[in-house]
Amino acid sequence: MKENSEVTIYDIAKKLNLATSTISRGLKDHHTISKKTIEMIKKTAAEMGYRPNNLAASLRGNKMRTIGVLLPTVTQPFLSSLISGIEIAAQKAGYTVIIMQSHDSYEEEVNLTQSLYDNRVSGVICSLAMGTKDTSHFNVFIENNTPLVFVDRVPQSFETFHVIIDNFSAGYKATKHLIDQGCKRIAHITAGSEFSIYHERKKGYLAALEEHNIPFDENLCVKINSVTYDDAAKASEKLLSLKSRPDGIFAPGDILGVSAIQCAKRMGIKVPEELAVIGFNNDPISYIIDPNLSTITHPASKMGQTSAEIILKNLKQSRKKDQIVKQITFLNTEVLVRESSKRI
């Protein structure tokens, strides 16, 4: 008995006095192999403890049956739900999922992109790092005809698949909801660059204000550098300490909304009576905070599934370069009204 005895189709072939090609085909139910032979091959393979070697199989096609996923982090609830959706769709199709974290660093993102290519993944799903402006490191996938999907944090212009929510519309809906509740001075917290999802949400906020003839007050719009608990706390305090205080806050992230509520509670400001708050994402913390945080629901898992399905559908389509288009899939968001904004 050998040490590292790995059963290959060659071993099966020898045992059955057949050619390796017959084994190979039999194992995949090829129609040119007789039922009897197929049965015998499968039975023997099972008996011998044969297991296919995806490595070798993939080498021929020069592609692993693998979807590469490149995200800022995996610990945010939205992103871990996204991964879950991707994994479910991939597993259904017999694909595996490789995860990489850019930690919101452009440099890491560039390196990891290389690494994904070196591993010859079948497709790539990416949500951009906060600071990424230039996206030329993704060109390698286009040139190589590897399907590429950007999700949530997508580049401004890149001719490939995008899976996003309509951030402008969501920002509009959130703000309008506050207006409908009677808010007159609606504050907003924002982050990221001019081309980020946060910028889109802000544009929706501005549009809603304008449509309802509410003048925009610069003091009511605070910019933070990172969507963290600490930055959020500072922003909330700044807003709620204003001489003419806001009576509503549209926070484009649940951490921000939660911190606003907590800050209000500390300062003795009643939520929602004196301050209505709406967040974004429907993270678990949004329904734990008291009062419950109204929010915008984000179909995270479905976005993951959709992204994976786009990859899978486009695996075989060897497009030519001039056929590459930008195809945007929008998923729905909804206003989820809870205690923190319910005045009427």
Partner DNA sequence: TTGTACGCGTTATCAC
Partner DNA sequence: GTGATAACGCGTACAA
CB atoms within 10 A of CB 56: 10
Indicate the helix (H) or strand (E) that contains 116: helix 106-118
Least CB distance to DNA at residue 17 (A) = 6
Determine, following the binding rule CB under 7 A, whether residue 10 of this chain makes contact with DNA: yes
- Applying CB under 8 A, among 29, 159, 210, 290 the residue interacting with a copy of itself is 290
Q: Which two tokens stand for residue 220?
A: 């009511």
8 vs 41, 65, 87, CA distance in Å? 12, 20, 29
Using CB under 7 A as the criterion, what x/- string covers residues 28-67 for binding DNA?
x---xxx-xx------------x-xx--xx-xx-x-----
Determine, following the binding rule CB under 7 A, whether residue 144 of this chain makes contact with DNA: no
Q: What part of residues 187-216 is at the interface with DNA (CB under 7 A)?
A: none
Near a copy of itself by CB under 8 A, which window of 58-66, 220-228, 269-277, 322-330? 58-66
Give the C-alpha separation, 205 to 210, whole Å: 9
Least CB distance to DNA at residue 87 (A) = 23
Least CB distance to DNA at residue 318 (A) = 14
Closer residue to DNA in complex, CB, 16/285: 16
Place of tokens 């329904």: 287
CB 326 within 8 A of CB 160: yes
Determine, following the binding rule CB under 8 A, whether residue 114 of this chain makes contact with a copy of itself: yes
- Per DSSP, 226 falls in state S
Paired strand residues for 248 = 186, 276
Chain centroid to Cα 240, Å, comes to 32
Give the C-alpha separation, 11 to 24, whole Å: 12
Near a copy of itself by CB under 8 A, which window of 92-100, 128-136, 168-176, 323-331? 92-100
Residues 6+ apart with CB under 8 A from 143: none
Dihedral angle of Cα 282, 158, 71, 202, to the nearest 10 degrees? -30
- Provide φ and ψ at 63, rounded to 5°: -150, 130
Q: Which two tokens stand for residue 10?
A: 């060659």
* Count, residues near DNA per rule CB under 7 A: 27
Near DNA by CB under 7 A, which window of 25-33, 133-141, 201-209, 276-284? 25-33
Closer residue to DNA in complex, CB, 7/98: 7
CB 254 within 8 A of CB 281: yes
> Could you say which of a copy of itself, DNA, none residue 10 binds, taking C-beta under 5 to 8 angstroms by partner kind?
DNA
User: Which residues of the shown chain bind a copy of itself in the complex (CB under 8 A)?
Assistant: 4, 6, 51-56, 58-59, 62, 64, 66, 73-75, 77, 80-81, 83-84, 87-88, 91, 96-101, 112, 114-115, 117-120, 140, 144-145, 258, 265, 284-285, 288-290
Which chain residues interact with DNA by CB under 7 A? 6, 8-10, 17-22, 24-25, 27-28, 32-34, 36-37, 50, 52-53, 56-57, 59-60, 62
